Amino acid sequence: MARVYNFNAGPATLPLEALQEAQKNLVDYENTGLSLIETSHRSKDYDAVHSRATELIRETLGIPSGYAVLFLGGGATLQFGMVPMNLMASGGSADYTNSGSWAKKAIADARKIGTVHTVFDGSESAFTTLPASAMVKSSPDSGYLHITTNETIEGVQWKKFPETDAPLVADMSSDIMSRPVPVDRFGLIYAGAQKNLGPAGVTIVIIREDLLERAPDSLPAYLTYRTHARSDSLYNTPPVFPIYVVKLVLEWIQREGGLTAIAERNTRKAALLYDAIEGSQGFYRCPVDPRYRSEMNVVFRLPSEDLEKAFITEATAAGMIGLKGHRSVGGIRASIYNAMPEEGVAALVSFMSRFREARA
């Protein structure tokens, strides 16, 4: 089967080896005579998958002791509400950086729970830049400081993280496991799986254990992190199949050399693409401040919307799909997550050069 190069922002391309392993086991899981998705989430077979997936998250990210790793439903979107419900004291406040479309959504939900101080507002620059990490200070009464480490739509990415007194909370949905991160600097990290980790349907939450105690008892059980931490994410039926695929993807990351090797490759891939944009004599234009350009979602414009349409159509015909920018911003977006091979980026760069020459 000829696989296309899939530049979609999420759900996104996954390692072929992980997909093939999932396929092999779909109907008859490791010779048990039934599929994992037909098996009780309390079974020995599933338990082994669940605990190995948790261990692999800990090992791969280097999570120190004193943190719980949770598998939740509801996408990263549910975390926009759960974070303030659990971590803002009643009538309290938190600091947020407004870095782009996803941060905006997190802020909108947090405002329903308490007071939000916007400590950085990227809307003034059309979300093309970020503050220097040292410039971001938490307010004295703040419950936490929230950042979106990679804005999937605008293509801006934090390279260094703010040092704050308040716990740092991060939406890492679109760059988790793409590079090593100092987990001990964070109070809470959350990420939907469907970019670098697996299929949609499971969200990873990594939370410092002392923060589990902040949630009021009045919260419904599912919305309370403590509930999930105490029951090892088996309070209710977890998303069994997505968690299984997350485990397969993490095993692939380990085989590839772990996050240091993955990050080096991601940096090479992004450099190839940004260099092609910069070397195009203005034909391709990336609006993002070079200091904060995302290594996961590379956004760029062409001289006209008609040319952008033609670019997408011709790229699709050449086996490169998912390049249309988000409908809210337009343009082109190439999402080059971990599983996008260097050859995929090289193929795109060579297509970009042919496309431009044909119009010169």
Ligand X SMILES: Cc1ncc(COP(=O)(O)O)c(C=O)c1O
CB of 287: closest distance to ligand X in angstroms? 18
102 scored as a contact of ligand X (CB under 6 A): yes
Closest to ligand X by CB, 97 vs 152, is 152
Q: From the list 10, 143, 287, 344, which residue makes contact with ligand X (rule: CB under 6 A)?
A: 10
Q: Contacts with ligand X: how many residues (CB under 6 A)?
A: 11
- In the complex, which residue's CB is closest to ligand X? 75
Closest to ligand X by CB, 102 vs 337, is 102
CB of 321: closest distance to ligand X in angstroms? 17
Closest to ligand X by CB, 15 vs 155, is 155
Instruction: Please report, as residue ranges, which positions from 185 to 224 form the binding site for ligand X (by CB under 6 A).
Output: 192
Give strand pairing partners of 300. Answer: 332
Distance in angstroms (rounded) separating the CA atoms of residues 266 and 346? 13
H or E segment and range at residue 269:
helix 258-278
Reply yes or no: is the peptide bond before residue 11 cis, omega within 30 of 0: yes
Residue type, 261: A
Where in the chain does DSSP place strands (E)?
5-6, 67-72, 93-98, 115-121, 142-148, 150-151, 156-157, 168-171, 188-192, 203-208, 297-300, 320-321, 332-335
CB of 91: closest distance to ligand X in angstroms? 27
Instruction: Please report, as residue ranges, which positions from 139 to 168 form the binding site for ligand X (by CB under 6 A).
Output: 148, 152
Whether 105 is catalytic: no
129 scored as a contact of ligand X (CB under 6 A): no
Instruction: Please report, as residue ranges, which positions from 166 to 185 form the binding site for ligand X (by CB under 6 A).
Output: 171, 173-174
Whether 171 is catalytic: yes
CB of 182: closest distance to ligand X in angstroms? 20
Distance in angstroms (rounded) separating the CA atoms of residues 113 and 262? 38
Q: Identify the DSSP state of 290.
A: G
Burial of 232 (0-12, 13-18, 19+ CB in 10 A): middle
Catalytic residue among 104, 109, 158, 171: 171
Distance in angstroms (rounded) separating the CA atoms of residues 81 and 64? 26
Distance in angstroms (rounded) separating the CA atoms of residues 191 and 202? 9
109 scored as a contact of ligand X (CB under 6 A): no
CB of 76: closest distance to ligand X in angstroms? 4
Whether residue 190 contacts residue 211, with contact meaning beta carbons closer than 8 Å, is answered with: no
Closest to ligand X by CB, 75 vs 258, is 75
Whether 184 is catalytic: no
Q: From the list 49, 56, 76, 270, which residue makes contact with ligand X (rule: CB under 6 A)?
A: 76
Closest to ligand X by CB, 192 vs 344, is 192
Residue 285: phi, psi to the nearest 5?
Answer: -135, 125
User: Which residues are identified as catalytic?
Assistant: 102, 171, 195
Contact residues: ligand X, CB under 6 A? 10, 75-77, 102, 148, 152, 171, 173-174, 192
